[in-house]
Chains A and B, each alone.
Chain A
Amino acid sequence: MPYDVGKTVAGILSPELITRGVVWAFLAFVAIYTIFSAILLYHWRRFSMRAHAFGVAEMVYLTGSVVLFAGAIMTLLATMV
């Protein structure tokens, strides 16, 4: 018989509690990610010898981050609905 993970977890924790915890954990992750991103961008701007290379890196990094965060936020919203 297939094992239903959902029913087991739902039996232990209420959906509201899980959702609230997930949202707070996600916000904490966003804060940590933002801090590390700021440190990265600081390094690139402060120590780069070639502005062009780091300009491209910045664009790729920020675009990738936005795309991945968009996916995460959409999934988070789907969890809450």
Chain B
Amino acid sequence: MDLHEGEVVLKEVRKHWFIMAVRIVGSFFAAILPPVVYYIGAGTFRFHAEGEISSLILLAYWIWLLIVWLSFFVWWTDYYLDAWHITNERIIDIEQIGLFHREINSVPFNRIQDITTEVSGVLETFLRFGDIHVQTAGERRTVIIKNADDPESVKKFIFNQMVEMNLVVSESSVGRDGVSGPSAK
């Protein structure tokens, strides 16, 4: 990611840790599932693998663990690289989907028209995560980060940056009651 001269990253916004926690738990269950199924199956159908066959089953399990391990890190990469980098000039929206899709959008503060947050659901409300929508005057009208950590504070942070740049007078003058936000300078 190339930054302009004098541009610094002030804040990074990622998906909430809960999203990653779900994947960690999922990976853990995926890892222990085969032995659980084997022992339940062995008990139910009274079969018993011995010698080469038991080694082959064990080898298949090691390979399964390696697949789970690799998948977990692919997810983690997706989680870590899929982020918003808020600089002193703009929002850099990096959309990472798996390993082979990466999209970078740059939203200068003076093109932002409105910022809305959406927190819906019990977990989202208690853990404070949700979607942030930034509406722009650019070609790509809206950039979104889903399940972002503490969307309200991110919204405030962006507004504060815009106030510092004299693009808006105060946060209260923007986006109230769904009305469109700060005008471009």
Q: Is the CB of A75 within 8 A of B52?
A: no
State whether the Cβ of B9 lies closer than 8 Å to any Cβ in chain A.
yes
Q: Which B12-68 residues have a C-beta within 8 angstroms of A?
A: 12, 45-56, 58-59, 62-63, 65-66
Task: Report the Cα distance A68→B61, complex, angstroms.
Answer: 10
A43 to chain B, nearest CB (A): 6
B44 to chain A, nearest CB (A): 11
Residue of A3, A9, A37, A49 near B70 (CB, 8 A) is: A37
Task: Report the Cα distance A53→B109, complex, angstroms.
Answer: 28
Given known A-B contacts A57-B73, A61-B73, A6 and B62 have beta carbons under 8 A apart: no
B172 to chain A, nearest CB (A): 33
Q: How many residue pairs, one in A and one in B, have C-beta atoms under 8 Å apart? A: 88
**Contact residues in A for B48 (Cβ distance below 8 Å):** 2, 4
Count B-side interface residues using an 8 Å CB cutoff: 34
Given known A-B contacts A2-B47, A6-B51, A47 and B81 have beta carbons under 8 A apart: yes
**Contact residues in A for B99 (Cβ distance below 8 Å):** 36, 39-40, 43
Q: Which A26-81 residues have a C-beta within 8 angstroms of B?
A: 26, 29, 33, 36-37, 39-40, 43-44, 47-49, 53, 57, 61, 64-65, 68-69, 71-72, 75-76, 78-79
Task: Report the Cα distance A10→B49, complex, angstroms.
Answer: 12
Q: Is the CB of B73 within 8 A of A40?
A: yes
Residue of B12, B49, B69, B102 near A64 (CB, 8 A) is: B69
Q: Is the CB of A6 within 8 A of B52?
A: yes
Task: Report the Cα distance A7→B1, complex, angstroms.
Answer: 59
**Contact residues in A for B9 (Cβ distance below 8 Å):** 49
Name which residue of chain A comes closest to B77, CB basis. Answer: A43
Q: Is the CB of A22 within 8 A of B59?
A: yes
Interface residues of B (CB under 8 A from A): 1, 9, 12, 45-56, 58-59, 62-63, 65-66, 69-70, 73-74, 76-77, 80-81, 85, 94, 96, 99, 102
